[in-house]
Amino acid sequence: MKNNYSTEENEILAAFEAGTLKKSKNSKKEISVAKETALNTFSRKKQIKITLTEKEIDKLKMKAFEAGLSYHSLIRLLIHNYTDDRIHIKL
């Protein structure tokens, strides 16, 4: 049965099956970098529009300034942390 792997992928597969692959000295770091790269590769950004009061925006700008961020970055960080269950909001 023919596979659709590249030459390099077939070489890696053959080495794996032969038991001749060697673990990298920095394998934990390399795995971490690979995971981050994969996440970034498949993370498509989409623009949204929300309506906030001027008072809310001013408060966000102040909090962001205190943290050394733009208020856009602060909003993005809040949403990211909420969707990853790092922060919880009582509804």
SS3 of the chain: helix, strand, coil, percent, to 5:
60, 0, 40
Q: Are 60 and 75 in contact (CB under 8 A)?
A: yes
Q: Are 60 and 71 in contact (CB under 8 A)?
A: yes
pLDDT in tens, 47-74: 899 999 999 999 999 999 999 999 999 9
Q: Are 52 and 59 in contact (CB under 8 A)?
A: no
- pTM score, two decimals? 0.51
pLDDT in tens, 2-46: 678 889 888 888 998 999 988 778 788 888 888 888 877 777 778
